[in-house]
Chains A and B, each alone.
Chain A
Amino acid sequence: MRITYKAMTTKYTKNLSSLSTGLNNLNNQVASGRKYSRTSEDVSSAIKGYQIRRSLSKVSTYQDNISHAQDFLTNSESTLSGIEDSLTEATGKTLQGMNASQSSGERKIIATELRTIQDQLLQTLNTTSSDSYIFGGSNTETKPFTVVGGKLLYNGNDVDSLTDGSDALKALKNDTMYVDIGLGVAFKPDGTVDSNSVFNYSFAGISIVGNGTTTIDGVTGPVSNNFYNLLGQIADEFESTDYSDTTADSLYGHLKEVAQKSYQTTTEIGAKENYLDFMTSRYETQDYNLQARQTEVEGVDATAVYIDYKTQSAAYQAALQMGNSVIQQSVFDYMS
């Protein structure tokens, strides 16, 4: 087989070129920290890499939604504690007013104080957070609680007329704000969101104040179950000319019951916050794992690549040195 000058030089140049291309690639890997700079260099890793990017983006979105819900719950909790404080004050005042030694004038003063507490409660129930009403369910634009003719309305519905078990009440109670925290959003056949597949973070005010009326021994007429109207009724009783101790006592008992109900909501908030803490730590772990996976798929181990680079560099040097001797030899160097 004849080895011609041309054949040797062409082959030598080709080998040098491929060695230096390899060297260049390794250089790029070290400089960018990426295993591949184009999808075509490693298609299956790249596609996996894109999937991981999407998952990372989703997890970060869920984390953001969770922190929004947490903020809202914290707000709700502190507002509720304000309401509880007011209710405690009201209960105290009522007890004071029921003391047999009170004169009618003193009872009237207490009635006025009760009405002041009523106003406070109304304002607190209409608290806003960044221009949204927090206790209106999905009604964030208009005041959820209004008073018409001395009676409380929630989102335009007379609270006293909302009876337990009625569809109207159910609809209002279930009307809350929600976010997707990755539980797999689903829609019911009628097009509404399946509330078990999202996280409800707000409380419909109607669940806090109480609804409907009851009849109590010793009181004529229906007694309101919501503390606003109830306080009004107590104040009315204190102000009335035929004040009766038994009526006041029954109303006081009812007020204590109604106040208890509001503590339930605080417990619910606590439970939700615990759940969100659990989800937060879960997503933190998931985020960490995804990032590790991403480095595995898209990144390079700097040490390994550096070693490869050194090896390739040595091969390149060796080839260059050999070139000197490969090309020079021919019989002409030895002819005299």
Chain B
Amino acid sequence: MTATFLSFQVASRAMTASQANINVTGNNISNVNTEGYTRQRVDIVSVTTSGAVQQYANPQVSTGIGAEATGTTQIRDAYIDGRYRKQNSEASYYNTMKTSLTSVEDVFDEASKEALSGELSSFTDSLNKLSQTPTSSDIKQVIRSAAQKVTQYINMYANQIEDVRSQQVEDLNVDVSSNFNTYVKNIANLNDEIRKEEIYGNTPNELYDKRNLLIDKLSAVADIKVTNTPETISHDLTINRLSITLNNPTDSGSTPIKIVDNDKYGSLSYADTGDEVNLSVTDTAGVVQNDKNDYFSKGSIKGYLDVINGNGSFATGDESDKRGIPYYKEAMDIFAKKFASVFNNLNNVSTTGETPVALFTGSDGTSTDNITAATIQVSAAWADDPDGIKTTATTSTTTSGKPDNIVKMIKAMSDDQDFKYTPDGSTTESTFFSGNFNECITGTLGNLSTDVSLYENFSDTSDGVLATISTTRDDTSGVSLNEEGVNLTAYQKVYNAAIRYFNILDQNLDTIINTMGV
């Protein structure tokens, strides 16, 4: 025979349980648009009596004594989280590459504006005008101005590439200090708070959500690995200890670097030598490790590294072989050098015994070694005297109007040239490109645009995959208004039913007390 008021407790428990359900449903509904929110549900267990020990077996009808809400849990699938973060790293990498290379393309692009390639054609046109009247000094001034325009365009390309580089380094800075370091610190703080809550016996769902959101954001910055190791607190309490590591996929024997370990966190910094950027990681034990670029294999940081350090086909040793800013810088330097040397050689004819002048020099106006895209300019000698350009290679005064040298220069503009360079650490020259000057520029632009187009496609594809994974994740942990609405009605009914039950019990008790045996 159960105790009199035990049933009342059952009713009370039922009402409490329904109330808890309704509260959680209300919480879910109000958080339907919250970023990173995982739907919650109440864990209801049915309660029974047990452990009654008697001397004689006394079979009786035993019933459960109601339902009890033991806690609120989130419905989240950690496996999908892992997949999402991996894909997020990849998508973020492609996005960064696309955006950064688009900035570089803005320097070279000529589709809807006039730039170097158009200027080279104008220069050829001016050379042809000079070949019509080689002795005309005003046309000689025109050709000198045309040459100046060409060198100014080359200088502009070099300067703008440098600007893009600074901008990319700045963006990397933001990613490193404002994103990576801040997220890592906040995750560690949250770890600390969550641990405390769990030890007290609570399930801090909101804190879990916050932490997952930060880890998602961190995965966009770098390719991270999240591990949960169980930590035993007492004989009936085991909690999870969250740590985050960076791995080097290119070297299977390398040790992962811990950047978050419970409440300890590491940090990231970079060093810019002007030629390349190197990352240094401080792990959770406080050990600083330099030159850890390999540990970033995806994510936006890797995107910036590839664009800032990418040497393309000029890479030696373990330099990055993606076509990044250093590759295009080098390509323009090779172009400038070749342009200057071809025209300086053609101008190296002495007709009346005077020393021939170089047409293009470096920044000091006289030296022709080490001409780069940033320093190439019309030589000081030519700038002073427009007659510096040699129109003919013949020496007699009665053939001063011959345009043979000019025609040679015109031919040089459309002939195939070998653009050579000496790779670092080698003494033999390699050929970067074979073709005429215009083809060199449009060829380089073609490479760049193909890369941009490629990364656009990659970016679209991985964004699509990310969206699918996100939908799948939402499948499990997102709030469905319809579901919550139905649940609300259901729990309401349960609550009403529990109250009805309570009324029945009350009536029964009333009947027993007031009308039995009267």
Contact = CB atoms under 8 A, between A and B. Distances in A.
Interface of A: 1-7, 10-11, 14, 32, 34, 36-41, 43, 46-47, 49-51, 53-54, 57-58, 60-61, 64-65, 68, 130-132, 136-142, 144, 155-156, 175, 177-180, 185, 187, 191-193, 198, 298, 330-332, 335
A40 B452 contact: yes
B363 interface: no
Contacts of B392: 138
Contacts of B50: none
Nearest to B471: A7
Given A53-B117, A132-B136, A332-B485, 20 more contacts: A5-B478, A38-B112, A39-B105, A40-B109, A50-B110, A50-B438, A58-B121, A60-B125, A65-B131, A65-B132, A130-B136, A132-B135, A136-B401, A139-B398, A139-B399, A140-B133, A141-B135, A187-B411, A192-B404, A335-B488
Contact of A10 (B411, B470, B482, B486): B470
Q: How large is the interface on B (under 10, 10 to 19, 20 to 34, 35 or more residues)?
A: 35 or more
A177 B478 contact: no
B109 to A, nearest CB: 5
Nearest to B108: A39
Nearest to A4: B478
Contacts of A37: 111-112
B403 interface: yes
Contacts of A65: 128, 131-132
Question: Which secondary structure dominates chain B's binding surface?
Answer: helix
Contacts of A40: 102, 105, 109, 448-450, 452-453, 456
B131 A180 contact: yes
Question: Which 6 residue pairs are nearest across A and B when measured between Cβ atoms?
Answer: A4-B478, A140-B401, A331-B485, A40-B452, A39-B449, A138-B402
Nearest to B480: A4
Interface of B: 32-33, 102, 105, 109-112, 117-118, 121-122, 124-125, 128-129, 131-136, 392-394, 397-404, 407-408, 410-411, 414, 438, 442, 445-446, 448-450, 452-453, 456, 467, 470-471, 474-476, 478-483, 485-486, 488-489
Question: Which secondary structure dominates chain A's binding surface?
Answer: mixed
A61 B399 contact: no
A6 B486 CA distance: 18
Given A2-B480, A40-B449, A57 B125 contact: yes
A7 B483 CA distance: 14
Given A2-B478, A330-B481, A47 B112 contact: no
Given A2-B483, A40-B453, A46-B111, A14 B467 contact: yes
Given A4-B480, A7-B474, A141 B121 contact: no
B437 to A, nearest CB: 10
Contacts of A142: 397-398
A4 B480 CA distance: 4
A198 B475 CA distance: 76
Contacts of B471: 7, 10-11
20 contacts: A1-B475, A2-B478, A5-B480, A5-B481, A38-B109, A46-B449, A50-B110, A53-B117, A54-B438, A57-B121, A138-B394, A138-B403, A139-B401, A142-B397, A142-B398, A175-B402, A177-B402, A180-B407, A330-B482, A335-B489
A93 to B, nearest CB: 33
Contacts of B450: 40, 43
Contacts of A61: 124-125, 128
Contacts of A185: 407, 410-411
Contact of A332 (B125, B456, B481): B481
A335 B111 contact: no
Given A6-B478, A7-B474, A330-B482, A64 B135 contact: no
B474 A6 contact: yes
A106 B413 CA distance: 65
B447 to A, nearest CB: 9
B117 A50 contact: yes
A54 B413 CA distance: 11
Nearest to B483: A2
Contacts of A332: 481, 485
B407 A39 contact: no
B404 to A, nearest CB: 5
A180 B404 CA distance: 11
A58 B488 CA distance: 78
A180 B135 contact: no
A54 B121 contact: yes
Contacts of B489: 335
Nearest to B131: A179
